[in-house]
Amino acid sequence: MEATVGKERFCDIFKGRAVVVTDLPAGRSRDLANRANEAAGRGDASLRTRAEYLALFGLLLEETGPGPQPAGLVLLDDSGQPTAAGRAVQEYVRASQGKAEFFDTDMYMIHATNFPHRRAVLQRPLEAPDGARLELWRTDPKDGRHIPGPGDEGVLLSTPAFSMMNSGNRTLFAPKPSWKISFKTAEGGGPFAGMARVNLKSMYNDPSQMREAIAWHLFGQAGLAAPRHTYAKLAFDATYSGLFSVIEQVDKRFLKDHFGKNDRGNLYKAYCGDIGCATLEHRIGPDGDDSGRQYFKPESKKRAYRLKTNDDDAAANTYDDLARLIATINGARLTGGDKRFDTDAFRASVDDIMNARAFLRWAAVNLLLGSWDNYFATPSNYYLYNSGRKGAEDDFVGSPYFTFIPWDYDNCLGIDYFGTQWQYTDILDWPSNTRNYSGNHTTSRIPLVQNLLRNHDYRQYYLDYLEHLIDTEFNPDSMAARIGAEGAGGLWDRVRQAAYLESVTPYGQPFTGRQFSNDEVYLSGCRQYELRHGNEKAEGIVHYVRMRRDSAGRQLEDLRKTMPRAGAADFPVDIETLPRQA
């Protein structure tokens, strides 16, 4: 602990964190926090804004007593022991939480009152009207309540300053829609635990209620820049709306967490839009131009590649950095036909512009998950972030460096609508796996995968990581342990109580709008049954993993005859850092 801190340093201690008032011990520290919260905030149960921390600093400074005020807040006395102010600051730090602590919590209760959630589908954020309030609580997954009792301790946030909107494509008009909650609005408030907003995914297609949790865990284990996940029970007024996946938003704070000083670059999100879907195919205009102009229509508001940052910066929003990436992965500046992809020159050019090995780890995880609603098959639902290079964060346009960021994993582990058996697909020939989803195209529409896998070194790395996955995380024993039987403390115990609360009978239609009965949730999540609803099929997760592991293992065994595992291919690897500018 520092001996003395000024007000700016004091605010920095809590930057990106929220001090939860009810986590403070009763007494002086909590009283001062409440005073700061009421004077400079909205009495919202946590300190999370600069104004609140400045108010708290002032209150602590006042308590030093009469006489000349010190230059800063004295935290240590002459013998190096904490002063009263120092002990208070220690308590505030212990009672604070950032994103890491938020997503380490197993379950939350989110309660919105007097918010018009039953209005027509909210495709734009709706600011909370007068009298509305949003409360956020930590809870035990086994707690049978969905709304906290009056006066309960443990509230993290209670605020009138929030907005909500519906999100998703398939779930936008579903009886149980997904939501996006923003803590920061035009009327006030501020980020909570470093987050301006969070996503509540309804898991509408997933009878097990566990697929997204499994997918995001695997991406985390793979060392990818990927969102984090937890769960929440959502209620509006006195009505329970069900169990939701809470997914971290990919935004500027996410970029700061993963890329440090290189957080001001171009973030693109992939959709199907003005020029088709975000396939990363090379585009050339009639005059031979393949610059950024080929990848958007200026008048379009529904671009396939949508710039989420710097969209108002004329020097950065040209899409020329994206065009350079696409030209590189398509070998546009190399000669030699398809053979050009299996060259050191191609590999060096790709390594120079993107984190190829992180992408290949994503590809290995994604293939085993059988997740199709992303670059694999649609292609959409992913991000590309151009951070630039370390030490040259302001030159990201002139010297781009891209990272692939995954998104949207409710359709995986055996969920399908078009008759594709993802557990048996070819581990190298991705396009042949996706024809049901891409209009029966016979040529590759996913060149970032296909061209990289034509390169011996990239193919070797991808196959080695596939083998590592089925040896460790992606096999029936490991997956069964992660899900757990009843009472085993796994994912099933984590979701069971909240999922069962959505219906009053085992076989009845849940009043939340979830399409699966409690019995179907039990059969799928705990007993690993296959379920069918209309044209949707959902395999039991462990059963799917067994079939996918066996099929991938047989293919790997055959491929190893000509491509044995690399001697140095030990995983997990040291996670890549951004390369330095030469």
Per-residue pLDDT reduced to its tens digit, 483-494: 998 778 899 999
* CA separation for the pair 272, 379 (Å, rounded): 7
Does residue 342 lie within any of the structural domains? Answer: yes
Residue 511, CB half-sphere, CA atoms under 13 Å: how many?
Answer: 10
Does residue 531 lie within any of the structural domains? Answer: no
Closest CA to 400 of 479, 531, 292: 292
* Confidence band of 63 (pLDDT split at 50, 70, 90): confident
Boundaries of domain holding 285: 252-306+315-436+443-471
- Identify the helix (H) or strand (E) that includes residue 553: helix 541-559
* CA separation for the pair 230, 220 (Å, rounded): 13
Does residue 92 lie within any of the structural domains? Answer: yes
Give the residue-averaged pLDDT of 558-579.
79
φ, ψ of residue 405 in degrees (nearest 5): -120, 120
Domain boundary among 212, 232, 248: 248
Helix 476-483 to helix 491-500 angle (10° resolution) is 50
Does residue 562 lie within any of the structural domains? Answer: no
pLDDT, position 140: 94
Inform me whether the pLDDT recorded for 238 exceeds 80: yes
Token digits of residue 565: 């595992």
Q: Please tell me whether residue 88 adopts helix, strand or coil conformation.
A: helix
Edge-to-edge order in the sheet of strand 531-533: 415-416, 536-538, 531-533
Distance of CA 130 to the CA centre of its chain: 31
pLDDT, position 560: 93
In this structure, the chain runs to a length of 582
Of 75-84, 140-149, 242-251, the range with the highest mean pLDDT is 242-251
Does residue 117 lie within any of the structural domains? Answer: yes
Are residues 239 and 155 located together in one domain of the fold?
yes
Contact 249, 184 (CB under 8 A): no
Closest CA to 455 of 557, 338, 569, 568: 338
Are residues 325 and 241 located together in one domain of the fold?
no
Inform me whether the pLDDT recorded for 317 exceeds 60: yes
Closest CA to 430 of 343, 359, 501: 359
Task: Classify residue 436 by its DSSP letter.
Answer: G
What does the pLDDT look like over 367-407, one tens digit per residue?
999 999 999 988 999 999 999 999 999 999 999 999 999 99
Are residues 233 and 283 located together in one domain of the fold?
no
* Confidence band of 170 (pLDDT split at 50, 70, 90): confident
The pairing of strands 107-113 and 229-236 is parallel
pLDDT, position 573: 65
- The pTM (predicted TM-score) of the whole model is 0.94
pLDDT, position 201: 97
Work out whether the CA dihedral 28, 30, 33, 38 comes out positive or negative: negative
Are residues 202 and 173 located together in one domain of the fold?
yes
Inform me whether the pLDDT recorded for 41 exceeds 70: no
Are residues 104 and 92 located together in one domain of the fold?
no
> Who has greater pLDDT, 575 or 251?
251
Instruction: Report CA-CA distances (Å) from 273 to 3, 295, 317, 379, 381.
Output: 56, 11, 18, 11, 12
* CA separation for the pair 494, 214 (Å, rounded): 13
* CA separation for the pair 71, 337 (Å, rounded): 70
Contact 578, 262 (CB under 8 A): yes
Are residues 184 and 302 located together in one domain of the fold?
no
Three-point CA angle 579, 581, 582, nearest 5°: 110
Are residues 232 and 360 located together in one domain of the fold?
no
Find all residues with CB under 8 Å of 103, minimum gap 6, and list them.
Answer: 228, 229, 230, 246, 248
pLDDT, position 70: 66
Are residues 78 and 120 located together in one domain of the fold?
no
What does the pLDDT look like over 451-470, one tens digit per residue?
999 999 999 999 999 999 99
Are residues 91 and 125 located together in one domain of the fold?
no
* Confidence band of 90 (pLDDT split at 50, 70, 90): very high
The pairing of strands 4-5 and 305-307 is unpaired
Inform me whether the pLDDT recorded for 235 exceeds 90: yes
Task: Classify residue 293 by its DSSP letter.
Answer: G
Does residue 508 lie within any of the structural domains? Answer: no
What does the pLDDT look like over 527-549, one tens digit per residue?
999 998 888 889 999 999 999 99
Domain boundary among 248, 265, 290: 248
Domain boundary among 201, 228, 248: 248
What does the pLDDT look like over 324-350, one tens digit per residue?
999 999 999 999 999 999 999 999 999
Does residue 565 lie within any of the structural domains? Answer: no
Closest CA to 226 of 448, 461, 446, 404: 404
pLDDT averaged over the chain?
A: 91
Number of domains in the chain: 3
Are residues 269 and 389 located together in one domain of the fold?
yes
Are residues 330 and 197 located together in one domain of the fold?
no
Are residues 192 and 296 located together in one domain of the fold?
no
Does residue 485 lie within any of the structural domains? Answer: no
pLDDT, position 486: 79
